[in-house]
């Protein structure tokens, strides 16, 4: 028996019987359709509207937001109404159907061509069990799209835990960004264009998370990339902005090669299907070649590295800060950068078994994530642009998500995606609020002391920073701690973890320490000390501060949705309990999802992680709030660093600082080595071939054609054709002269010729007939 089969059988699946599905869950396609229609409406009619089309975009996304909330409520009810292996519903189904029942079975409600059908999601099928039947855990709706080469291409939606929570996250952040933008980009020269692409961006991401097959995912993936290109380069007249948009676009194209290769491998290895459920089932049931699964996972990881900013393809992400700040919040909080993370979650069996996650201590996915956590955090220390600090912070936090998926902590990864969306969106929009006031993003040159001028922005920024640092009891604490315990490293939760990932745990703890340190530095440079800019800063308007307040509330309290067992009364099995509710509703409990283990929460690890998470801020606090601040007061200058600090006096520290300032010289590698090789020697070689090979062929062909034309003209046209024409003319002239002599005007002569002709003709007839 294979390892895959053993892994599946190790943890029996819950048994579900299919039943009625609410109208809303069967029609979730309406949610991405609304912003898609608003894109068309703004594009064609936006400039004629009183608010430049912004009102249409807000109305559409607002409606989608309400539908997303109702969908989440319906899903919670849908998910709770199931029958486990010992429930009455399953027993009833077993009594009614006998051998048709299996303890590993799981059904789904499917609509094909408008007709509701029950389909088999596992090798055993549970039919609807009358009054004892309960809702399926996945709602799949598909319709025929087109047929080519014997393959049916379908289009539809797959609604389950991860997709329904993403509907809420995307619509929430997008709605707040839309409202925020009405103030932030007011008076912009391409105001209508901006809101049109915001709507299309939102529709593309919503369509992506609802895709029922990998072909749809590819289309939505590319649409999201296209919209990000347009929005990052919104102010394309300035070269740095257009360069940043091109860099994001081209870097993502590198990863997209891996996306296409991985999807092609999955299509053929799964028997010629694009269906996500069927592909995942084929992997879990060991129906796909293990080598093919591994190479598919490796190829798709390349796409994740580019789209989700993993080291070493993260370099585009900080440069993307050239776009408007609301775009940065939307891209780096809930949409573009988590597309790769969501793809891993959606096709998790491919990665889970492709990288041999269960029972391991290291794998490629976990290693990439852990390196990104630390290396991204280090780069945030040397930034002077507040948005770049947050951008590298995003790189680091995305590393946490990939790390979690790499160690088998699926729920922890999605939970961190959920919490990160709120506190990181709050931080980006908070940075935009400050920059909007001082007309700059430079913390060292144009900020300082901003808490006195912008109290609301300061308070919300502090709350979101504390959540990002993972301080108890904010949202970041719960999600980050769940990732750390999910590693199973150093014996923590090892009895139920999917492996013993010691290095990943250590890297995660180091990352927690770095996070608090660079955010303490960011807060000091922005909000403390003396104001170093020009003019008189002021607090932003309600359209900016209200979204900040809402996001800070989520940043503080969202972690309560997934409390660990034993923390408060209630349990995940109780609809009224708070423990592990997020995992209960979001983690798929279906045959297309692998049977993963869940680590036991460790309170001593939570304490250790909290202490390490405070060490970094403590050191940064001592350096900036005590040493730098005291020296500033002594000298009367508004300092941002110690003039005689470690970097100035230690060669090794100076070298390390330069290494970080130059971003590990990756841009140098890409631009001055790889791109320069294309633009330099390769371009020169191509030019030489063009001049000496291609042009010579063309020139030789031209010269040959001229000579051939001259020969044809001289010998054929002039000698042969014109000679024949002239000869026929001379012959005709001479014949005419001869025949003219017969015309004498004598009637007798004409009569004699006529008689002779008639005689000859009569003789011919007599002889022949």
Tens of pLDDT, residue by residue over 542-592, are 999 999 999 999 999 998 888 887 666 444 445 446 678 888 899 988 889
Residue 625 token pair: 């709030």
450 domain residue, yes or no:
no
* 320 belongs to a structural domain: no
Q: Is 115 helix (H, G, I), strand (E, B) or coil?
A: strand
Q: What is the mean pLDDT of residues 97-109?
A: 36
Specify the pLDDT at position 217: 95
pLDDT computed for residue 696 by the predictor: 79
Mean pLDDT rounded to a whole number for the chain = 83
pLDDT for position 685 = 80
Strands, sheet with 115-120, edge to edge from the N-terminal-most edge strand: 115-120, 107-112, 139-148, 151-159
pLDDT in tens, 572-582: 445 446 678 88
Q: How far is CA 185 from CA 385, 481, 499, in A?
A: 20, 38, 49
Residue (of 14, 62, 47) closest to 587 by Cα position: 14
Indicate the residue among 142, 169, 196 that finishes a domain.
169
Most confident of 281-295, 663-677, 707-721: 281-295
Residue 136 has what pLDDT?
Answer: 52
CA distance readout (Å), 273 to 149, 154, 215, 416, 756: 12, 10, 10, 32, 93
| Parent domain of 23 | 1-155+162-169
Can you say how many angstroms the Cα of residue 682 is from the centroid of all Cα atoms in its chain? 32
pLDDT band at 87 (very low <50, low <70, confident <90, very high): very low
Confidence of residue 704 (pLDDT cuts 50, 70, 90): confident
In a domain, 731, yes or no: yes
The arithmetic mean of pLDDT across residues 608-637, rounded, is 91
671, two tokens: 């631009």
Return d(Cα 588, Cα 9) in angstroms, integer. Answer: 17
For residue 20, what pLDDT band results from cuts at 50, 70 and 90? low
- What SS3 state is found at 97? helix
Per-residue pLDDT, 567: 66
C-alpha angle with apex 415: 411 to 418, nearest 5 degrees? 145
Task: List, in sequence order, every residue forming a beta bridge with 563; answer none if it has no partner.
Answer: 579
Residue 482 is predicted with a pLDDT of: 92
**For residue 1, what pLDDT is reported?**
33
Q: Which tokens hold the place of 463?
A: 């709350």
Is 275 a domain residue? no
Distance CA 56, CA 726 (A): 81
Average pLDDT value for residue range 155-171: 94
The pTM of the whole model exceeds 0.85: no
Report, as an integer, the average pLDDT of 631-636: 88
* Integer Cα distance of 611 and 605 in angstroms: 10
- Say which range, 254-263, 407-416, 469-478, 557-566, has the weakest mean pLDDT: 557-566
pLDDT at 723 over 90: no
Mean pLDDT check: name the lowest of 91-100, 645-654, 690-699. Answer: 91-100
Q: At what angle do helices 386-407 and 325-333 cross, to 10 degrees?
A: 10
How does pLDDT run across 221-269, given as a tens digit for each residue?
Answer: 999 999 999 999 888 888 888 888 888 888 988 999 999 999 999 999 9
Identify whether 256 is part of a domain.
no
Q: In whole angstroms, give the CA distance from residue 201 to residue 208.
A: 11
Q: What percentage of residues in the chain have a pLDDT greater than 70?
A: 85
pLDDT reported for residue 168: 96
Which of 136, 169, 202 finishes a domain? 169
Question: Cα(487)–Cα(361) distance, rounded to whole angstroms?
Answer: 9
The answer to whether 475 and 558 are in contact (CB under 8 A) is yes
743 within a domain of the structure (yes/no) = yes
The reported pLDDT for the residue numbered 494 is: 60
Q: Using H for helix, E for strand and C for coil, what is the string for 69-90? A: HHHHHHHHHHHHCCCCCCCHHH
Give the pLDDT of residue 764: 77
Give the HSE-up count for residue 165: Cα atoms under 13 Å, Cβ half-sphere.
26
Please give the tally of structural domains in the chain: 2
Residue 421 within any structural domain of the chain: no
- Rama region for 743: left / alpha / beta (φ>0; ψ in -120 to 50; rest): beta
Per-residue model confidence (pLDDT) at position 182: 93
Which of 146, 169, 192 terminates a domain? The answer is 169
Pick the range with the lowest mean pLDDT from 342-356, 462-476, 603-617: 603-617
Structure-model confidence comparison of residues 760 and 381, the more confident one: 381
Q: What is the mean pLDDT of residues 74-88?
A: 63
CA distances, 563 to each of 300, 422, 509 (Å): 32, 18, 20
pLDDT for the residue numbered 465: 95
- pLDDT at position 5 is 29
- Please determine, for residue 8, whether its predicted confidence score (pLDDT) is greater than 80: no
Task: Decide if pLDDT at 132 tops 90.
Answer: no
Q: Is the pLDDT of residue 413 over 60?
A: yes
SS3 110: strand
CB 130 within 8 A of CB 89: no
**Residue 234: helix, strand or coil by DSSP?**
coil
Is the Cα dihedral 339, 345, 346, 350 positive or negative? positive
Residue scoring higher pLDDT (496 or 594): 594
Residue 264: inside a domain, yes or no?
no
Whether 120 and 159 have beta carbons less than 8 Å apart is answered as no
Retrieve residue 423's tokens: 């506190």
Q: Residue 141: count other Cβ atoms within 10 Å of its Cβ.
A: 25
pLDDT confidence band for 341 (50 / 70 / 90): very high
pLDDT at position 605 is: 87
pLDDT tens digits, residue range 484-502? 999 988 877 666 888 899 9
Asked whether residue 681 carries a pLDDT value surpassing 90, the answer given is no
Average pLDDT over residues 506-513: 94
On the question of pLDDT at 400 being above 90, the answer is: yes
Six token digits for residue 387: 């948005």
């Amino acid at each position: 028996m294979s390892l895959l089969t053993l892994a599946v059988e190790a943890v029996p699946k819950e048994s579900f019987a299919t039943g009625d599905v609410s109208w809303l869950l069967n029609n979730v396609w309406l949610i991405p359709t609304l912003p898609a229609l608003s894109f068309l409406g703004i594009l064609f009619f936006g400039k004629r509207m009183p608010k430049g089309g912004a009102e249409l975009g807000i109305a559409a996304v607002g409606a989608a937001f309400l539908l997303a909330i109702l969908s989440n409520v319906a899903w919670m009810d849908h998910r709770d109404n199931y029958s486990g292996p010992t429930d009455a519903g399953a027993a009833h189904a077993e009594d009614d159907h006998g051998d048709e029942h299996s303890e590993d079975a799981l059904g789904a409600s499917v609509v094909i061509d408008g007709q509701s059908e029950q389909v088999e999601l596992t090798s055993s099928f549970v039919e609807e069990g009358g009054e004892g039947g309960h809702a399926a855990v996945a709602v799949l709706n598909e319709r025929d799209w087109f047929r080519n080469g014997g393959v049916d291409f379908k289009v539809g939606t797959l609604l389950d835990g991860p997709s329904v929570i993403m509907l809420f996250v995307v619509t929430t952040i997008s709605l707040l960004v839309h409202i925020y933008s009405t103030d932030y980009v007011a008076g912009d020269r391409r105001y209508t264009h901006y809101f049109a692409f915001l709507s299309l961006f939102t529709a593309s991401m919503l369509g992506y998370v609802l895709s029922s097959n990998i072909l749809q995912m590819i289309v939505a993936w590319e649409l999201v990339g296209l919209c990000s290109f347009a929005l990052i380069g919104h102010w394309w007249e300035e070269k740095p902005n257009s360069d940043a948009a091109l860099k994001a676009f081209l870097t993502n194209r590198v990863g997209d090669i891996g996306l296409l290769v991985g999807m092609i491998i999955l299509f053929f290895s799964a028997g010629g299907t694009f269906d996500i459920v069927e592909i995942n089932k084929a992997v879990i049931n060991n129906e796909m070649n293990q080598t093919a699964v591994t190479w598919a996972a490796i190829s798709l990881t390349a796409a994740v590295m580019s789209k989700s900013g993993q080291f070493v393809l993260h370099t585009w992400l900080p440069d993307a800060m050239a776009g408007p700040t609301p775009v940065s919040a939307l891209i780096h909080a809930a949409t573009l950068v988590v597309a790769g993370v969501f793809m891993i979650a959606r096709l998790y069996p491919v990665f889970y078994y492709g990288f041999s996650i269960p029972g391991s201590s290291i794998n490629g996915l976990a290693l990439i994530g852990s390196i990104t956590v630390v290396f991204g955090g280090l780069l945030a220390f040397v930034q002077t642009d507040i948005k770049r600090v947050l951008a590298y912070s995003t790189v680091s936090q995305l590393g946490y998500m990939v790390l979690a998926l790499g160690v088998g902590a699926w729920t922890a990864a999605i939970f961190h995606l959920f919490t990160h969306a709120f506190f990181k969106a709050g931080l980006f929009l908070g940075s935009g609020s400050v920059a909007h006031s001082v007309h700059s993003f430079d913390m060292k040159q144009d900020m300082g002391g901003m808490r006195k001028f912008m109290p609301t922005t300061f308070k919300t920024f502090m709350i979101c920073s504390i959540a990002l640092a993972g301080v108890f009891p904010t949202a970041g604490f719960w999600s980050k701690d769940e990732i750390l315990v999910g590693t199973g490293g150093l014996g923590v939760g090892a009895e139920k973890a999917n492996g013993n990932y010691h290095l990943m745990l250590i890297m995660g703890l180091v990352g927690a320490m770095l996070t608090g340190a660079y955010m303490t530095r960011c807060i000091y440079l922005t909000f403390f000390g003396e104001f170093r800019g020009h003019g008189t800063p002021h607090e932003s308007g309600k359209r900016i501060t209200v979204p900040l307040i809402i996001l800070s509330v989520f940043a503080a309290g969202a972690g309560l949705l997934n409390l660990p067992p034993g923390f408060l009364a209630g349990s995940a099995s109780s609809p009224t309990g708070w423990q592990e509710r997020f995992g209960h509703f979001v983690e798929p409990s279906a045959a297309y999802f692998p049977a993963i283990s869940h680590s036991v929460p460790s309170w001593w690890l939570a304490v250790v992680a909290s202490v390490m998470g405070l060490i970094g801020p403590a050191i940064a606090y001592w350096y900036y709030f005590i040493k730098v601040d005291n020296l500033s007061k002594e000298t009367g200058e508004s300092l941002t660093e110690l003039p005689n600090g470690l970097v100035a006096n230690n060669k090794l520290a100076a070298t390390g600082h330069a290494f970080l300032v130059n971003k590990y010289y990756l841009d140098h590698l890409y631009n001055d080595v790889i791109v320069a090789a294309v633009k330099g020697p390769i371009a020169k070689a191509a030019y030489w071939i063009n001049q000496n090979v291609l042009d010579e062929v063309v020139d030789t062909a031209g010269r040959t054609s001229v000579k051939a034309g001259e020969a044809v003209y001289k010998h054929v046209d002039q000698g042969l054709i014109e000679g024949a024409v002239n000869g026929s003319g001379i012959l005709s002239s001479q014949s005419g002269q001869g025949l003219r002599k017969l015309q004498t005007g004598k009637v007798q002569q004409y009569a004699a010729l006529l008689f002779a002709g008639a005689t000859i003709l009569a003789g011919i007839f007599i002889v022949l007939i």
